[in-house]
Amino acid sequence: MSAQRRVALVTATAFLVALSLRPALTAVGPLLPRIGLDENLGEAAQGLLGTLPLLAFAVASPLVHFASKRFGMERAVLVSLLVLAVAAAARPYTGIAGLWVGTAVVGAAIAVGNVLVPVIIKRDYAAHVSRATGVYTAFITGGAAIASIVAVPIADAADWRLSLAIWGGFAVLIALVWLPRSLHPAPAPAPRADDEAAPVSVWRQPMAWLVTGFMGLQSTSFYLLVNWLPTIEISTGVSERTAGVHLFLFQGFGLIGGLTIPRLLKNPVSQRAGAVTASVPILVALLGLLAAPQLALVWAMIAGLGQGAALVAALTLISLRGRTPHETTQLSGMAQSVGYLLAAAGPVLAGSLTEQTGTWQTTLIVFAALSTLQIALAVAAGRDYRPTRLLG
């Protein structure tokens, strides 16, 4: 094997890490009724268990850049994979306290990969950031979809505890593949002359907030649909089985959206066309569910296209708006912290609105308004942009 091919294979291991960033989360949803029955958890507690990893994302994401500076990105990712493996394997077998603590630790470990892997991909694929980001999100979505599909069959064949714990073993395999990169990390790029300027906190930068808002709103609509799309459809007369198929198609079409949108994001200066194109289908799907619920299959597929594309657009904006790996890591932590905090609140807000009004119509109107705001942020965050220092 040529040296060039070996380097390419080692570099591609970042995409394998992406496979491990969602299964421990998405396997929980289909198993919640069984978990609730065995552990005496009511519906509210089950909902909080499903939301807990997002809260962990929000808390842990801003702290990741400290670990990255101390240990290096590759070693930080390796440690996170090992922590994920232990927490995912232990949480089903350590009682109710272990279930809650383990789920929070799973979320914190995944947050490290959420923040650092896109930065590593930006460094390794500097000439093709949007395309590589599309492949990265395809691996994330694929891992999430696979875990959702196999969770119940594994639980039927064994029990829900094994169905959750198995993803700890999967994380160990990914850690073994990643180990050579952590032992021989890529050297840090030589600093440029203007890198010595006094650092500016991303939390005080307008562009950082625009990117963060875009990330947060696309995450909010995604988790709204992942959690409530089947329930919304069932309320209009769709069968449970059909609603489940529609949710799978929603995630499947996310793969297509994520792999096709990079064509509109490859301009290194302006990503406005791609960010807006990714956002419009989400608004169309929400309005469609409101106006013509009998076409739920169509809206699920359109929403999936938009969500997959919007995630790629958000991660591409994060990658391109930071000038150095360290700056990008800070921005990624900020955007994902606030973004997942909004995402955690979204399903709760939707459930509360529906409970108070007795219908999903108000909820769909509110989230359609948020999607309109996402389009406006896509215009602003994706504009013609040439930073001379962090975020301008």
User: Shortest CA distance to 92 belongs to which of 77, 103, 84?
Assistant: 103
This prediction's pTM: 0.82
Domains and CATH numbers, the chain: 1-186 (1.20.1250.20), 202-391 (1.20.1250.20)
How far apart CA 45 and CA 39 sit, in angstroms, is: 10
pLDDT value of position 129: 84
How far apart CA 360 and CA 228 sit, in angstroms, is: 10
Instruction: Judge residue 152's burial from the number of C-beta atoms within 10 Å of its C-beta, 0-12 exposed, 13-18 middle, 19 or more buried.
Output: middle
Q: Where are the alpha helices (DSSP H) in the chain?
A: 3-11, 13-19, 23-26, 32-39, 43-60, 64-71, 73-90, 95-124, 129-157, 160-183, 206-235, 240-260, 272-291, 296-321, 325-357, 361-381
3-state SS, 69-93, equals HHHCHHHHHHHHHHHHHHHHHHHHH
pLDDT value of position 347: 84
pLDDT in tens, 226-280: 878 888 888 899 887 788 788 888 988 999 999 999 999 988 778 999 999 999 9
Q: Which residues contact 287 (CB under 8 A, 6 or more apart)?
A: 364, 368
Q: Is the four-CA dihedral 204, 207, 208, 209 of positive or negative sign? A: positive
How far apart CA 332 and CA 326 sit, in angstroms, is: 10
How far apart CA 87 and CA 165 sit, in angstroms, is: 9
Structure tokens at 130: 């949007």
Q: Which residues in the chain come in under a pLDDT of 70?
A: 1-10, 186-200, 386-392
* Residue 198 DSSP class: P
Structure tokens at 375: 């389009």
Count of alpha carbons within 13 Å of 314, Cβ hemisphere only?
32
- Could you give phi then psi for residue 6, rounded to 5 degrees? -60, -40
